[in-house]
């Protein structure tokens, strides 16, 4: 039996937001060094408040994965997330791809972000999402560090082929990493669908922004037919078509700037037609039902 087959339909899907500024994305990492971040005009406060307002209008709560750098400079965003009933979770401190870090660097970055978020929120941080889905086969060692740091779940492993991320062949639906000592870390992948023998991404980020809503609705129905949850994710900067343009490679500019003017309407379509909850509302209930996978 599916692990969520008996859950009420109105609690089926998960809504998440990766809180980072427009100049912090992996697509611009070659052009924007972290040492220059303070010199860029920030838009993350206004954009994240826009997301809060949007969610409030639709009376929906989600999980906000904060970059620690952002939370340290804008702790009022963390406090508003909690005041509005959302979950606060971790999205690293420096938003650097994990497979470019050493285990010690990753540990220190993550620990720093936890400290910032817990100081701003006064609550324990239980969820983690890697920058740019960068837990790949090269960096599966990061999972044990997350377990050791006390996280209750991860949402970092994208089971697709991509030039920047992905673990092709990984499980498409939630499962649990089991470590040598018997400890466990639940994994909640972003949503994919099977079509013509391929695993295709759906329901989040650029895939929600670029692709027709008819495709997104089809993907939701496919996942519902499998008695599973869609994991929706997006970034506050995706609702900001007026953001400054960064000179970068054509592919990076295309990925970042395409269809920004339509993203808010796409998100509103989902909020109007589907029901959502934060990760915290599903993790505890489902962690003992997930398929185990021995961690590498």
Is the whole model's pTM more than 0.85, yes or no?
A: yes
Cα Rg for the chain, rounded, in angstroms?
Answer: 18
Question: What average pLDDT does this structure show over 148-155?
Answer: 97
The pLDDT of residue 119 is 97
CA atoms of 120 and 124, how far apart (whole Å): 10
Pick from 272, 275, 284, 293: which is nearest to 61 by CA?
A: 275
Pick from 233, 87, 90: which is nearest to 151 by CA?
A: 90
Residue 14 near residue 229, CB atoms below 8 Å? yes
What are 187's strand-pairing partners?
Answer: 154, 175
Question: What average pLDDT does this structure show over 38-45?
Answer: 98
pLDDT band at residue 4 using 50, 70 and 90 as cut-offs? very low
The pLDDT of residue 163 is 74
Place of tokens 């695993």: 199
pLDDT band at residue 288 using 50, 70 and 90 as cut-offs? low
CATH topology of domain 9-294: TIM Barrel (3.20.20)
Contacts of 113 (CB under 8 A, 6+ apart): 66, 67, 68, 71, 90, 91, 92, 93
Mean pLDDT (the chain, rounded): 92
pLDDT in tens, 96-107: 999 999 999 999
The pLDDT of residue 291 is 75
pLDDT in tens, 185-207: 999 999 999 998 889 999 999 99
């Amino acid at each position: 039996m599916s692990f969520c087959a008996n859950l009420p339909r109105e609690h089926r899907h998960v809504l998440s937001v990766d809180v980072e500024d427009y100049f912090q994305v992996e697509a611009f990492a070659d052009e924007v060094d972290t040492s220059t971040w303070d010199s860029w005009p920030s838009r993350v406060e206004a954009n994240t408040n826009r997301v809060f307002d949007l969610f409030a209008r639709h009376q929906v709560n989600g999980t906000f994965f904060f970059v620690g750098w952002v939370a340290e400079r804008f702790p009022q965003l963390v406090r508003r997330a909690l005041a509005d009933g959302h979950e606060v979770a971790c999205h690293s401190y420096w938003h650097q791809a994990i497979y470019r870090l050493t285990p010690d660097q990753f540990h220190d970055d993550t620990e720093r972000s936890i400290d910032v978020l817990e100081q701003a929120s006064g609550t324990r941080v239980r969820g983690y999402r890697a920058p740019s889905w960068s837990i790949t086969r090269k960096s599966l060692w990061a999972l044990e560090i997350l377990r050791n740091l006390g996280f209750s779940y991860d949402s970092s492993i994208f089971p697709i082929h991509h030039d920047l991320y992905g673990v092709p062949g990984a499980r498409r639906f939630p499962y649990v990493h089991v470590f040598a000592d018997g400890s466990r870390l639940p994994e909640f992948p972003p949503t994919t669908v099977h079509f013509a023998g391929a695993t295709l991404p759906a329901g989040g980020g650029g895939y929600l922004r670029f692709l027709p809503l008819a495709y997104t609705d089809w993907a939701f129905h496919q996942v519902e037919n499998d008695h599973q949850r869609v994991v929706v994710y997006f970034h506050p900067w995706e609702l900001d078509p007026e953001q400054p343009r960064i000179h970068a490679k054509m592919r990076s500019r295309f990925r970042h700037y395409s269809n920004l003017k339509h993203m808010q309407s796409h998100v509103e379509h989902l909020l109007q037609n589907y029901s959502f909850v934060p990760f915290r509302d599903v993790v505890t209930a489902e962690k003992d039902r997930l398929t185990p996978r021995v961690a590498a």
